[in-house]
Structure 1
C-alpha cells in the first residue's frame, strides 16, 4: 500500500490517476474505498487543501459515474462518497490546520453526533425505520435465497442499529485518516506517526459530556433513544484514545506485538470490549497513564 502512496505523490497527474482507478475499483470491491480515502487525506495533508479537494472531486465523479452506468442509479455512489470520501477530506483539513489527530477525531465525533440528532428529529421511531428498511430490501433477498432468520432477533438488532452505524462511521473515517497520516509519515517524516498517535488524547470536555450522557442513559430505560446513540459516539472516540494508550504501553514496556494482535482480535470477536478501552480512555483524561509510565521509565 505504501507503494501506491509513493506513486500518487510523484505529481498531481499520478495522484488523480490513482484516485480514479481505485475509486472505480471500489464500485466492485468496497475495501478499495479505504485506499481512495487515504489518498485523498494524503494529498490534502502533504500538498494542499485545494489539491486534496481536486482528488475528492475526481474520486466522486469516477465512482458515482461508474455506479450510474452499471446500476442506473447514483444512490450507491453517493453513499460511498459519504462513507469514505467527503468526511475523510474534511477530517484531513482539520488535521492539516491543527496538526492534531485528537482534533480530527473530535471533529468526526461532532459530525456524527449532529447526524444522529438530525436522524432522531426526522424519524420518530428509528428502530421501526430500520426494520421497515430491512423488510423492504433485505428480507426478500434472504427469502429468495432460502436463508432462515429470526424475526425477533432482527428486531433486537434494529433497536441498536443507529448506535452501530454511528460507531462504524467514526471508526472507519478515523482509520482511513490514520492510514493517510501514516503514509505521510513513512514517506516524509519517518517515525513521526508513532509519536503523534501515541499522544492521542481527547480534551476533558469530551470526558465530561461522556459522563453526562452516561448518567442520562441510566435515567432513561429506553434502549432505542437519542441519548444512547450519542453515548456510542463518545464511546467510539474514547476507544480510539484507549487504543493509543495500548500501543504506547506495548512500546514503552517493550512488550510483544502479540498483545496488540490479541487486542484487535478481542475487539472483533467481543465488541463489548470496546467499553473497556473507552473506560481506559476516559480515566486517562485525569490520570494520564502515558506520562506516568514514561516518567517511571526515566
Structure 2
C-alpha cells in the first residue's frame, strides 16, 4: 500500500522524514489534505522515537519551508508560522499519546484546548462576529458572487457564518490534529504491530465527564439558542463523532456485516455532513454512557 511505503520511507531516516514532511506541506498549500499527511509524518516520528526526534524534524522542516518562502515570497516568517501552526500541535499530542497510551486522555485534552480557544477569542475580541464578517467578506465574498449569489444573499450568508466561525475554526483544529494523529498511529501499527490500530480505534470510548458536558451543552442550546454554546458544542462533539465512526467499524466487523454499510455511512457523511455529523456525535455520546459494543455483543 502506498501510504505504508511512505511510512516506511519516513522511518528509514531523519532526513527522509524531513523531506517527506516538507514536500507534503508545500503540496498541501494547493491540496489541503496533504497538509494533514505532512503533520502525520511529524507525529509518526514522535510516536516511534520520542519528542526530541519529532522536534528535530519540525525544526529542520520549518527551516526548509522558511527558506522556500523567502525564495518564492520574500517572507521567511510566513514559512515558519505555517510549519509551526501545522506541525507543533500534532507533535505535542503525539507525545501525549506516546506517554499516556490513552486516546481518551488525548481527545479530552484536545477538546479542552479547542474550548479554551473559543472562550479565549470571545474574551479578547469584543465583537468576534464583526471581525469574522470582515475577514470572510474579504476572502469569500467574491467567490460567492461568482457562484451566482446576489449581494444581499452573500451578506446574509456571511453574517450567519460569522456568528459560528470561531467555533468552526476550533473544531477544524481538533479534527485536523485528530486525523493526523490517527493516520500516524495507523502507520505505526502497520509497520510494527499489524492490526493494532484497528483494534485500538474500534475500542475507543471517551470518558463520561466529557460526554456529560457535551450532553449538557446540547440541552442548554435547545433551551437558550445561544451562539457561543453552539460553538462550544461544535468543538466538544467532534471527538464523539470520531468515536462513533470507530464504534460502527467495530460493530460491522463484530457482526460479520458487509463493508457496504460503511461505504453507505461515508457517502451519507459526505452528502449531509452537518446532519450525519450531529447524529454520529450523538451516538458517540450515548456510547460513552451505555457501552454499545458490549450490549450488542450480548444481544441486549
Q: Same fold (TM over 0.5)?
A: yes
Q: Does the 8 Å contact 1:202/1:285 carry over to 2?
A: yes
* Structure 2 residue 294 is the aligned partner of structure 1 residue 291: yes
Query: Do structure 1's residue 177 and structure 2's residue 188 form an aligned pair?
Result: no
Alignment CA distance shift 1:295-1:146 (3 Å): closer
**Cross-structure match for 1:191:** 195
Q: How does 1:258-277 map to 2 (within 5 A)?
A: 258-270=260-272, 271-277=274-280
Is 1:88–1:176's contact at 8 Å kept on the other side of the alignment?
yes
Aligned pairs, how many? 293
Match of 1:279 in 2: 282
| Distance (whole Å) between structure 2 residues aligned to residue 43 and residue 241 of structure 1 | 25
CA contact (8 A) 2:211 2:289 kept: no
Q: How does 1:1-298 map to 2 (within 5 A)?
A: 1-73=3-75, 74-75=77-78, 78-79=81-82, 81-82=84-85, 84-139=86-141, 148-149=149-150, 150=153, 151-222=155-226, 224-225=227-228, 227-270=229-272, 271-296=274-299
Deviation at 1:80?
A: 5.6
**CA distance in structure 2 between the aligned counterparts of 1:75 and 1:117, rounded to whole angstroms:** 26
Following TM superposition, by how much is the alpha carbon of 1:217 offset from its aligned partner in structure 2, in angstroms? 2.4
1:72-116 CA-to-partner distances (Å, cap 9, x unmatched) read 34447624642x311111110111011122222222211111111
Give the deviation of 1:249 after TM superposition: 0.8
In structure 1, runs of 5+ residues without a counterpart are none
Q: Whole-Å Cα distance in 1 between the matches of residues 188 and 9 of structure 2?
A: 13
Does structure 2 retain, via aligned residues, the 8 Å contact 1:27–1:66?
no
Mean Cα deviation higher: 54-63 or 19-28: 19-28
Deviates more, 1:92-101 or 1:160-169: 160-169
Q: CA deviation at 1:128?
A: 1.7
TM-score (norm 1): 0.89
Three-state SS of the structure 1 residue aligned to 2:32 is coil
Contact 1:39 1:180 in 2 (8 A): yes
Q: Which moved more, 1:85-94 or 1:210-219?
A: 210-219
Q: Given that residues 113 and 233 in structure 1 are in contact (C-alpha distance below 8 angstroms), is that contact kept between their aligned partners in structure 2?
A: yes
8 A contact 1:27–1:67 mirrored in 2: no
Give the Cα separation in 2 of the matches to 1:30 and 1:146.
21
Runs of 5+ consecutive residues of structure 2 not aligned to the other structure: none
Contact 1:36–1:59 (8 Å) recurs in 2: no
Query: Are the aligned partners of 2:62 and 2:79 in contact in 1 as well (CA < 8 Å)?
Result: no
